[in-house]
Amino acid sequence: MDDLERSLQFYRDGLDFETDGIVGQAFEHGAVVFIQLSSALKLALWPRASISHDTGLTLGPASATEFTLGHNVSSAAEVDQVMLQAQSAGGNIVKPAHETFWGGYAGYFQDPDGHLWEMVWNPAWVAE
């Protein structure tokens, strides 16, 4: 991502994810947002330039097809609800929610930085 404040607003204010906001701003390349996804899982939002600096890798062009984040929910209706919430928060619906070939229900949206999220209901899995 290139705009950490915009990303924070999308995830905290738009999607209601739990976070303490931007931390580490006192350090060059230290600003980060930690999103609490579960008791043992956090999503760290780092500016791409900071990741490049920290890893030593050359900063390249962003690509939405590098990876997706999958979020399993407990019903098809919840997929629809989160997709609508993401769109209302400024996300871009890439593929509307639909019945899948494997018997589930899923759709894709992009956050303001173009990262892909797949919202999924899988009848064979029990979501927390």
Roughly how many angstroms between the first and final C-alpha of the chain, as a whole number?
Answer: 28
DSSP state of 57: P
Residues of the chain falling short of pLDDT 70: 127-128
Q: How many CA atoms lie within 13 A of 15 on its CB side?
A: 25
Q: Which two tokens stand for residue 112?
A: 């303001």
Q: Taking a C-beta distance cutoff of 8 angstroms, is the pair 123, 77 a contact?
A: no
Cβ within 8 Å of residue 59, ≥6 positions away: 48, 49, 52
Q: Which two tokens stand for residue 20?
A: 């303490």
Measuring CA to CA, which residue among 25, 71, 18 is closest to residue 46?
25
Q: Quickly tell me which residue has 């962003």 as its tokens.
A: 62
pTM for the full predicted model: 0.80
Cβ within 8 Å of residue 62, ≥6 positions away: 2, 48, 113, 114
